[in-house]
Amino acid sequence: MRTHAEFYSDRFPPYPGEEDEINPGCWGKRLAEFIYEGLKNRGFDVIEPAAEDWGWMVEIRNDEFPIWIGCGNLDGEDDGYLCFIEPSTPFIRKFLFKKISTEADVEKVQAALNSILSSEPSIKDIRWSTRKEFGS
């Protein structure tokens, strides 16, 4: 599953003092707010963005399993960003033995996220990859 989107934009600079909420050199709150609004406008039940060490998380309410999008800057890039969907695997395990397919729900989120990113003129060079491809 292609769950990691890298791209470039000048629309999402850090807020003053944002790195006080997360790790130094990390930002993405403006991007998370943009993704939150885009998902909300597309009918997703989303939770306000929350700070993490690495950037910002936008949770999507889902009954079967937790699903969320991570948003942050690419290390060493002033205008490079990453959005990634979790879970990023086709199955998760629940209660040790129960195997749950994530593909249908993740694909809906991926299609919406791609639409959100593609609809913003300042976003350039969107490149989707799997978790494994991104990590290598």
| CATH for 13 | 3.30.310
Say how far apart CA 122 and CA 136 lie, in whole Å.
27
How far, CA to CA in Å, does 117 sit from each of 36, 73, 126, 136?
A: 12, 15, 8, 24
For residue 37, the enclosing domain spans: 4-135
CB of 15 closer than 8 Å to CB of 44 = no
Q: Residue 97 is encoded by which pair of tokens?
A: 């033995």
Amino acid at 19: E
Q: Report the distance separating Cα 129 and Cα 62, nearest Å.
A: 23
| Alpha helices in 42-89, H assignment, sequence order | none
Instruction: Please give the chain's pLDDT, 136 residues, in tens.
Output: 999 999 999 999 999 999 888 998 999 999 999 999 999 999 999 999 999 999 999 999 999 999 999 999 998 788 999 999 999 999 888 777 788 999 999 999 999 999 999 999 999 999 999 999 987 7
Q: Are 34 and 116 in contact (CB under 8 A)?
A: yes
Looking at the 3D structure of the chain, how many domains does it have?
1
pTM over cut 0.85: yes
For residue 113 the two structure tokens come to: 């996220």
